[in-house]
Structure 1
Amino acid sequence: MASAQPGVHALKLQPPSVSHTLRNGSNFIKWDEDLSTVSPVTLFVDPHGFYLYWTDQNKDTELLDLTYVKDVRTGRSTKTAKEAKLRELLDVGNLVGRLENRMVTVITASDLVNVTQLIFIASQEDEAKLWCEELFSVSSNLLGHNLNRDHSLQKAYVRLTLQPNAEGRIPVKNIVRQFSSDRKKVENALESCKLPYGRGDGIKLEDFTLDVYRNFLDSLCPRPELSSIFKLQGGEGGTMSMDQMTEFINNKQRDPRLNEILYPPLRPAQTLSVMERYQLDPSQLKQGFISLQAFSSYLSSDENGVIPPEKLDQSEDMNFPLSHYFINSSHNTYLTAGQLAGSSSVEMYRQVLLAGCRCVELDVWKGRTAEEEPVITHGFTMTSEISFKEVIEAIAECAFKTSPFPVILSFENHVDSLKQQAKMAEYCRTIFGDALLIDPLDKYPLEAGVPLPSPQELMGKILIKNKKSHKPSNNTDTKRLIDQPANQSNEPASPSNNTGEMEAESEEDDDDEDD
């Protein structure tokens, strides 16, 4: 990733690139977890990167809009049934590689809470890994989530062509459903293009070319206002000159508030380069003319979008101290609902990090089970508990999948067990590894007057913000905590009578954070 300097792009966005493997398709087993059924399918991604689709043995095709995909996982983070059960369903005794490493789990969500999974099983671990990496790369591309008008209409065309009926034709009912317009208007538009338009009719794929589709759209959704604008700019006779186009761009399309030194108006030579991108008729282009169709394509392009594509991933100057920035943060990250009786979920940490959050909250409490594992929950409420270790694993998996900038873990630490605090430290060190910032950077000692490092200098790092206790500390206990292995405990055999009081005091100290 490129450095995030002013005016420079952090991600260097390029249009989605779909590899030959994804375009040509691979054989998978689709596992329906709810029905406990499996079926062989061939999995594809269309060349434009719009849809993931799969065809079963009956040649029926299902598809998924890739903009709904939040994550693609394989390995330990996948959700699996017991291996023996799945082997029985597959009725195969010579599976190659570990089951979880051959699974491709596609996570979709309409929001951060309502998450669903599609599970596909490859025959080889390498194949699952390749699909996982490339599919996530295509689905998370910001350009694919911000299509202009022409590309959005092209996406609708691709959807229609991916779902032909058994006879290889596009059902007219699919076209009516796609444009959710009144049926009569759709039928009239199809008829004007000399295509079948009856309710039970189908259109041959070779007859429904992209050019025919565009003519259909022109008939279905005419744009008379574009013709009026074209004529007002001098576009009589079906063409507009380069000088007229230059005047239109500078006087009509350009924001008059722009500084003319930093953002100078276009010169005719620059206008010509714009015309070359949209004028498909070389003879007209050679004469310096642009047609109405090319003019319409220009107005529907990224150059006239609300957000220019080059601004989608542009960062501010990320070289100031960390404290100079507003940080995208999450409060009570683990909760899927209200903080009084809502459910807690490890998945919430994955979802908020994938959505770009850079600071998450972990309310850590002493686990009461025999294993003495620290848990995350909302204290003194009826919210459910989740494993601290599983949350740390989820953060490690998703921290930098969509953003390179540092992640801050805001610990609200209520754990009064030295053994469990040692476990917390061990999990953070072993699971985060080198990504965990343990010591201050050499250039930024923790001294008065020394600023914090910048986000640029902390890229790929995980920082822990743990609230210190203001109570007098016992040096002996501190040494015991540092030296004591996580699997040993020097705690008394019976719980302290002051445990509840300590927790209550801690909760009172932090009640401003628990709102």
Structure 2
Amino acid sequence: MTKAYDFNWQRPIPEALLKGCIFDRWEEEKEQVVYEPNALFRVDEYGFFIYWNSDGRDGQVLELSQVNDIRAGGIPKDVRLLAELSSKHRYGLDEVSLTICSGTDMVNINYTHVVCPDPDTAKIWQAGLRSITNNIKANNVCPATCLEKHWIKLGFLVDPDGKLPVRRIAQTFASGKTEKLVYQCIGDVGLPSGKNDVIEPQEFTLEKFQELYQRVCPRNDIEELFNTITEGKTDYISLKQLITFLNEKQRDPRLNEILHPFYDERRVREIVAAHETNPENIKEGRLSQGGLVRYLMSDENAPVFLDRLDMYMEMDQPLSHYYINSSHNTYLTGRQFGGKSSVEMYRQVLLAGCSAELTVQAHFLQALLQAVSAYLVLEASSKRSPRPSDDDDDDGDDDGGRCVELDCWDGKGEDEEPIITHGKAMCTDILFKDVIYAIRDCAFVTSDYPVILSFENHCCKKQQYKLAKYCLDIFGDLLLTEPLPNYPMTDWLVLLKTDGNLRGRSQGPGPRQPLAQPQRSQAQILIKNKRLKPEDEKRELELWRKGQLQNDDDDEEKEDASVTIIAPSEEGEGEIIEPSSPTQENPGSKKKKVEAQLEEQLAMAHYQYTGATVHVHPVLSSLVNYAQPVKFQGFEVADERAIHFNMSSFAETAALGCLKSQAIEFVKYPPH
């Protein structure tokens, strides 16, 4: 970086976590139960790891960059383990247990359960761990810090005697390297190199590890670069050569020369002093090959703008001035056809979606197609993989978001509980109320910015009332049910129909009413669903209170696309394929697999789309405010009406067409 930048990625570690505490650890994986009593849990001083050890066991480590949530509670299913833990602890297990959720993606989550000595300790550790996880800055540290991080991790993986097994070090470099080479390099740096040898921790210094790294993974490309700069004449880069290299090769020529000036002698000497170890070279402003390696691995050469990991944008604009990362089919852990739905996906998306440091989505078109009337800024978790587009089959990983989708359908059970699933796409079902609980628990753990629930509503009025009731009862004050003060929902124009054309008439003097700023609706949940006209909503609410509301659903009136699968019958006519519960397949039956694949391909080829119902229960309608979907009638009409709480969805082809023909109008849309 042309300007020196102090990248402070560390968060303060609570004293209780540094000191550590004795917990009982247990894990359940299918039929296997792991139980480790009386383990000492601690967090390292940098906040990289939570690590633990107990008598007679090797040390273990959990990387905090992979921890996405720490939840209260956790009861084992194993009866014997439950009995043992219950008898050992005088408090209820739900009061003293924590569940640490971790994983490298959003689908394959590992659950590590710990039982604390008392409820207060559980609360301290839950709050403490949450304060240092989801640290976007720590996930963007430079390679040099990553190397130190790995060295720290190896120091925790000691055997029961407190010594570091050589095989642990060898496993670090196992990928792409021969075992013989790794053990040889360990011996070359002066460490014990037998497979069964152990090393005293104080002997395994950071310098030794860095030397070992350079021997096992030599950077021949950097050596070639060094020789090119020095022309092979010296064992150092002179001050003049270094200035030339930094300005002509390292500096991005697109940068503004005032904000990002060229490297000068003063700045280059600062770089040399920071990365060179030879005092004579520092004095002369020269850089050795080792110094060049350290410089290239430092924060000076980060692949991202480190200052953009902080909150650097103004957050006092109307909500519609920002992009949102809108999660499509949030509930799916895999394919859109025959996939598995999971409540956990809502937790993962919200936990990964945004934190105190915000980043605007850089790809305008992607954001435009996903949510052209977006309402907020969100931060994508650098450790998560984005979900493919709607046209892709593999929807396994979802980039985090502040807008999640709920495809709501009528439940078929006796209790008629509304469900969330992918239409009739043979995906599994999850209960709507379970999703609402999950959203309540995770919506504002990593961010206070508002969350939008995008309902794709296929329910009858009776079950729509349940949707509304669950939202009111479970969310409580988190649900934004009324317009915010100073941001009323009054239409700027009264629409008149004259000679078949829309005309507008101002309701009064003053500027157009904008949407609220993101911080004005912090820690609030908004519902996006069709809303009835004010007079219809009022009339139907009165009828509902009197018990006279008719359930006049008409499946022929639909809006918004959702999937229904039609397969041709033997007579050549289409028939609906209803979702079915999964059955166990004979692993040895190749014929069944082929038939299943053919059936799936046939069904996918006959996708037909049915939309969400237009018959909305008045109670659900009354919960909708700043996110009201309407049919798009053109940019001119939208600008004339200037209703700031209206939004529209676009098919990809339509959006691309508008972008090509009316780019300026598209950028200005929606009105605010």
Q: Partner amino acid for 1:202?
A: V
Superposed, 1:222-237 pairs within 5 Å as: 222-227=218-223, 229-230=225-226, 233=229
Contact 2:173-2:216 at 8 Å conserved across structures: no
The farther-off stretch of 314-323 and 352-361 is: 314-323
**Partner SS, residue 84 of structure 2:** helix
- Please name the residue that 1:437 is paired with: 480
Query: Aligned partners of 1:37, 1:176: CA distance in 2, in Å?
Result: 26
Q: Partner amino acid for 2:559?
A: D
Per-residue deviation, 1:203? 2.5
- Please name the residue that 2:561 is paired with: 511
Superposed, 1:9-408 pairs within 5 Å as: 14-34=9-29, 35-36=32-33, 38-40=35-37, 41-74=39-72, 78-81=73-76, 88-90=83-85, 92=87, 95-96=90-91, 98-180=92-174, 181-227=177-223, 229-230=225-226, 233=229, 238-240=235-237, 242-280=239-277, 285-286=282-283, 288-313=285-310, 316-356=313-353, 357-367=401-411, 369=413, 371=415, 373-380=417-424, 382-408=426-452
Q: Structure 2-normalised TM-score?
A: 0.64
Q: Structure 1-normalised TM-score?
A: 0.82
Query: Aligned partners of 2:8, 2:254: CA distance in 1, in Å?
Result: 28
Query: Aligned partners of 1:93, 1:160: CA distance in 2, in Å?
Result: 33
Q: Partner amino acid for 1:64?
A: L
Q: 1:474 to 1:324 in 2, by over 3 A?
A: closer
Q: 1:361 to 1:91 in 2, by over 3 A?
A: closer
In structure 1, list runs of 5 or more residues that go unmatched.
1-11, 485-489
Q: Partner amino acid for 1:183?
A: E
Contact 1:83-1:99 at 8 Å conserved across structures: no
Q: 1:172 to 1:451 in 2, by over 3 A?
A: same
Moved over 6 A (4+): 82-85
Per-residue deviation, 1:28? 0.8
Query: Aligned partners of 1:57, 1:415: CA distance in 2, in Å?
Result: 56
Query: Aligned partners of 2:270, 2:282: CA distance in 1, in Å?
Result: 10
Query: Aligned partners of 1:167, 1:185: CA distance in 2, in Å?
Result: 27
C-alpha distance after superposition, 1:47-99 (max 9, x if no partner): 3333322213313222223232222211xxx4424799765222536523x42
- Please name the residue that 1:4 is paired with: none
C-alpha distance after superposition, 1:269-288 (max 9, x if no partner): 33333334324556654554
C-alpha distance after superposition, 1:289-327 (max 9, x if no partner): 444433321111121121132233456554443334442
**Partner SS, residue 561 of structure 2:** coil
Q: 1:173 to 1:370 in 2, by over 3 A?
A: same
Aligned residue pairs: how many? 486
C-alpha distance after superposition, 1:33-56 (max 9, x if no partner): 344563312222233333322213
Q: 1:250 to 1:212 in 2, by over 3 A?
A: same
Contact 1:409-1:465 at 8 Å conserved across structures: yes
The farther-off stretch of 370-379 and 259-268 is: 370-379
Q: 1:366 to 1:220 in 2, by over 3 A?
A: closer
Q: Partner amino acid for 1:359?
A: C
Q: 1:367 to 1:250 in 2, by over 3 A?
A: same
C-alpha distance after superposition, 1:169-201 (max 9, x if no partner): 333322222112212322332232222222332
Query: Aligned partners of 2:162, 2:140: CA distance in 1, in Å?
Result: 31
User: How many percent of aligned residue pairs carry the same amino acid?
Assistant: 37
Q: Partner amino acid for 1:207?
A: E
Q: 1:92 to 1:85 in 2, by over 3 A?
A: same
**Partner SS, residue 142 of structure 1:** coil
Alignment of 1:414 with 2:483, yes or no, is no
RMSD: 3.4
- Please name the residue that 1:9 is paired with: none
Per-residue deviation, 1:350? 0.7
**Partner SS, residue 262 of structure 2:** coil
Q: 1:366 to 1:469 in 2, by over 3 A?
A: farther
Query: Aligned partners of 1:37, 1:179: CA distance in 2, in Å?
Result: 28
The farther-off stretch of 332-341 and 389-398 is: 332-341
C-alpha distance after superposition, 1:417-457 (max 9, x if no partner): 45x54443343234334432222234433223533334344
C-alpha distance after superposition, 1:453-487 (max 9, x if no partner): 34344333221111136899585542254x58xxx
Q: Partner amino acid for 1:187?
A: Y
**Partner SS, residue 141 of structure 2:** coil
**Partner SS, residue 248 of structure 2:** helix
Contact 2:406-2:454 at 8 Å conserved across structures: yes
Contact 1:363-1:414 at 8 Å conserved across structures: yes
Q: 1:195 to 1:320 in 2, by over 3 A?
A: same
Query: Aligned partners of 1:392, 1:13: CA distance in 2, in Å?
Result: 37
Contact 2:422-2:563 at 8 Å conserved across structures: no
Contact 1:16-1:143 at 8 Å conserved across structures: no
C-alpha distance after superposition, 1:370-422 (max 9, x if no partner): 5554433344454443332221221122113333432111122334345x544
Q: 1:174 to 1:137 in 2, by over 3 A?
A: same
Per-residue deviation, 1:354? 1.9
Q: Partner amino acid for 1:358?
A: R
**Partner SS, residue 98 of structure 2:** strand
Q: 1:505 to 1:95 in 2, by over 3 A?
A: farther
Alignment of 1:465 with 2:461, yes or no, is no
Query: Aligned partners of 2:70, 2:404: CA distance in 1, in Å?
Result: 21
Contact 1:42-1:55 at 8 Å conserved across structures: yes
Q: 1:136 to 1:315 in 2, by over 3 A?
A: same
Contact 1:414-1:503 at 8 Å conserved across structures: no
- Please name the residue that 1:425 is paired with: 468
**Partner SS, residue 92 of structure 1:** helix
Query: Aligned partners of 1:225, 1:423: CA distance in 2, in Å?
Result: 63
In structure 2, list runs of 5 or more residues that go unmatched.
1-6, 354-400, 493-511, 565-608, 610-672
Q: 1:386 to 1:150 in 2, by over 3 A?
A: same
**Partner SS, residue 407 of structure 2:** strand
Contact 2:76-2:82 at 8 Å conserved across structures: no
Query: Aligned partners of 2:211, 2:80: CA distance in 1, in Å?
Result: 53
Contact 1:345-1:386 at 8 Å conserved across structures: yes
